[in-house]
Chains A and B, each alone.
Chain A
Amino acid sequence: MLKTFPLGGIHPPENKLTANMVIKYLPIPENVTIPVSQHIGAPGTTIVNKGDYVKTGQVIASIKGFVSSNIHSSVSGKVNKVDTIIDTTGYKQEAVFIDVEGDEWIETIDRSSEIVTEIKLSSEKIIKRCLESGIVGLGGATFPSHVKLTVPAGKKIDLLIINGVECEPYLTSDHRLMLERGEEILIGAAILMKALKVDSVKVGIENNKPDAIDHLTKLATGFKGITIHALKVKYPQGAEKQLIKALINREVPSGHLPLDVGAVVHNVGTAYAVYEAVQKNKPLFERVVTITGKSLALPGNFFVRTGTPIRKLIEAAGGMPDDTGKIVNGGPMMGKAVNNIDIPVVKGTSGIILFPHNESERSEINPCIRCAKCISACALNLEPFLLMTLSEKGLFERAEKERITDCMECGSCSYTCPAGRPLLDYIRLGKSTVIKMARERNMK
């Protein structure tokens, strides 16, 4: 029996169309738009001005506060303007527009193809390097990695978990990275291990990626403390708390963080970025993005410079199909639908999916038949039907008692509902209202 998390979960069609497509480098576009906030926390402070010449890898917005991140230029060229854009979140934010001239990297980056195995930096230096290099969680949440590596006083971490689950359908960026940059990922894991001062790492990979499991298992024999674990395919296993439960059967209490049970989780993409930052001194300005969709002529996986408009990715994948009805940034379960194709690829962009018209509209909403399938699907054992009704009727105090804020918005309930009810839409509404209420209460 393969391990998995016990409560709830679903198994949507995997549709991993690009699982066998080797990662290619997307040509550098003529101009890029680099948002100064590509992470959770405070946006960076822009430190370049119109007309400045910047090099690839140069800091253009510097970290502001602890929970924040540096933003680096992904290209060399002239700053055209600093202006606001509307990004995938739908909110306005500042971005640096750069007209590309050549590709001149800052000198400190080691551009050789040689794999550096020896870890020279100390624990503190590793964390500092991650901070300087703008490393954030590349699984989608984009939480600044240096914060996760800084263990608060009094907490004891005994295990690092590397998340190679990639439980979202369609996406294959982590899968390809494990196959093509396996050794770098494991060195990255070893670096993170050193930073956290732990002596073991578990890498969790869902069993629909047997080639990645085999490849990393072979490579892991050369590393001390690293073990690879195959997991049963079940969404949302890539969620930190579910992955921890699946791998080591520890349950992170409601409202707490993984480090409260002695574990820290980093994504395989993050481990690769950490390798590049620490061993090659390369800041995070490039990532793997899956561009996929059933109607695309040439779906694939690409190394993409941040700030590249997703239009370029779609062109590289054979152009926008006529039947496109929805474009999603991220996975089909948790990604965000975008309203134009000029929005830039950012650190958190794991994939772009083009859905045909017939898959982009919601089904009709029918009455709740109280079948309880939403409860069985919920990985937290919440009662989505109830949370929806409470939010709909404005009964937010009760929704809070029913633990609406525990919801991680994985979408399993809406996916499962036979009546096509928009459970998660209403739960989001209730959850944000309850969080706002709690904040106001604390201010009093």
Chain B
Amino acid sequence: MSNLLNISPSPHTHGKETTRKLMYGVVLALMPALLLSVFYFGIGAVIVTATSVISCLVFEYLIQRFILKKPISITDGSALVTGLLLAFNLPSNIPVFIIIIGSLVAIGIAKMTFGGLGNNPFNPALVGRVFMLISFPVQMTSWPIPAGLKTGYIDAITGATPLAIIKEGIKNGESLSQLMEKVPTTLQMFLGNIGGSMGEVAAVALLIGFVYLLLKKVITWHIPVSIIGSIAVFTTILWLINPEANADPMFHILAGGVLLGAIFMATDYVTSPMNPKAMLIYGCGIGILTVIITVYGAYPEGVSFAILIMNAFVPHMNAYIKPKRFGEEVKNG
């Protein structure tokens, strides 16, 4: 033992929170959704998730080791989260090679080119997802119909998502009341027994994850609540104006990727604003853009695009929307 004393400035004590713990907290919060997706989509869910996670980790390792020549930090959990979130955005029958390409885009382009963890302006998993959606539109939009553990992988029976059914139908001039009979009930959507990407189908599992993240103080309520709230308000207005052309707010919130996006994607630390005021504005922006894209845009759902668009504004929001500091403007008595 040495007799030397450490000299360092205060504070001399540190909290227990670490980056790794926060990241694994998110991983844990994603577990209910992962379990349910395996329950609904069977072996395909396992293959897709494993491929996505492993390729994200491998790409991060390779880039850090051979290109950046930096210390390897793949155990910090951030690439694991990206891998899981990417998988959750995919159909369970998507071929392995497409997932590997998507992972390379997510980690290689969206994350590591900007300098790795903490520096990327756009959510890596969403960049990967959108890249795949544009490059492989057919594979990315053929959604297996849940058939439990019996659901096949590549040979799974596919069908359209509820949002796509509505979008196509309205384009073809069908009335909403007819279309609503073709889509799952609210309860089915809540439990996730619907066609869709793996992680977004089960509202209940995502909400359990949300509660866990709030209790563990990994995230705050501001972003998810403002996204869901603004979608609810906006779609209620549309629905009240014309209930024959616009689906009800509950449908909008439960049918697509809104909950997955609001709880897990938009709250990504690196790409979201850093103070509550800016978080609320960011959340409302995502909500409004989501509805605009979903209702008026070319794609059946818009939450991914909405988050990426708002990601671009985050540096400006951090620079111009400031928290009110203590003692800045004071009104006493």
Chain A residues engaging chain B, CB cutoff 8 angstroms: 7, 10, 12-13, 169, 241, 245, 250-256, 261, 322-328, 330, 332-340, 353, 355, 357, 359-363, 366-373, 375-376, 379-383, 385-386, 403, 406, 409, 411, 414-420, 424-425, 428
Contacts and interface: CB of A to CB of B under 8 A. Distances in A.
B326 interface: yes
A326 B12 contact: yes
A169 B15 CA distance: 13
Contacts of B15: 10, 12, 415-416, 418
Nearest to A379: B326
A433 B21 CA distance: 35
A414 B19 CA distance: 14
A290 to B, nearest CB: 15
B5 A383 contact: no
B11 A414 contact: yes
A409 B326 CA distance: 14
Contact of A360 (B6, B9, B76, B324): B6
Contacts of B9: 336-337, 424-425, 428
A363 B19 CA distance: 12
A261 B326 contact: no
26 contacts: A245-B326, A324-B5, A326-B12, A332-B11, A333-B11, A335-B12, A336-B9, A337-B7, A340-B5, A359-B13, A363-B18, A366-B18, A366-B76, A369-B22, A369-B118, A375-B275, A379-B326, A381-B323, A381-B324, A381-B325, A383-B275, A403-B328, A406-B326, A406-B327, A418-B17, A425-B9
Main SS of the interface on chain B? loop
Given A339-B5, A369-B117, A369-B269, A254 B13 contact: no
A278 B56 CA distance: 72
Contacts of B76: 366
A367 B326 contact: no
Given A381-B324, A418-B21, A367 B118 contact: yes
B6 A241 contact: no
Which among B5, B76, B324 has the highest number of chain A CB atoms within 10 Å? B5
B292 interface: no
A350 B123 CA distance: 48
A429 to B, nearest CB: 10
Contacts of A337: 5-10, 12
A173 B22 CA distance: 36
Contacts of B6: 325-326, 337, 360-361
A135 to B, nearest CB: 26
A253 B330 contact: yes
B70 to A, nearest CB: 10
Contacts of A338: 5, 7
Nearest to B327: A254
Nearest to A353: B12
Which 7 A-B residue pairs are closest in the complex by CB-CB distance?
A411-B11, A254-B327, A367-B118, A372-B274, A380-B326, A418-B17, A326-B6
Contacts of A328: 10, 12
Interface in B309-333: 318, 322-328, 330, 332-333
B10 A409 contact: yes
B116 interface: yes
B326 A372 contact: no
B274 A383 contact: yes
A376 B8 CA distance: 25
B1 interface: yes
A414 B8 CA distance: 13
A329 B324 CA distance: 34
Nearest to A376: B220
Contacts of B12: 326, 328, 332-333, 335, 337, 353, 355, 360
Given A251-B326, A325-B5, A367 B14 contact: no
A251 B327 contact: yes
Contact of A251 (B73, B318, B330): B330
B13 A367 contact: no
A281 B275 CA distance: 53
Interface string B102-115: 00000000000000
A385 B118 CA distance: 12
Contacts of B328: 253-254, 403
B135 interface: no
Contacts of A375: 274-275, 323
A386 B76 CA distance: 23
Interface in B227-285: 269-270, 272, 274-275
Contacts of A424: 9-11
A400 to B, nearest CB: 13
A415 B21 CA distance: 15
B119 interface: yes
A398 B15 CA distance: 29
A383 B174 CA distance: 53
Nearest to B220: A376
Interface in B99-157: 116-119
A330 B9 CA distance: 12
B203 to A, nearest CB: 26
A432 to B, nearest CB: 12
Contacts of B326: 7, 241, 245, 251, 254, 379-381, 406
Interface in B69-92: 73, 76, 78
A36 B272 CA distance: 52
A379 B327 CA distance: 11
A339 B7 contact: yes
Given A334-B10, A369-B117, A419 B330 contact: no
Contacts of A360: 6, 12
Contact of B10 (A251, A335, A359, A420): A335
Contacts of A362: 8, 14
B62 to A, nearest CB: 19
Contact of B5 (A169, A326, A336): A326
A327 B5 contact: yes
Contacts of B324: 381
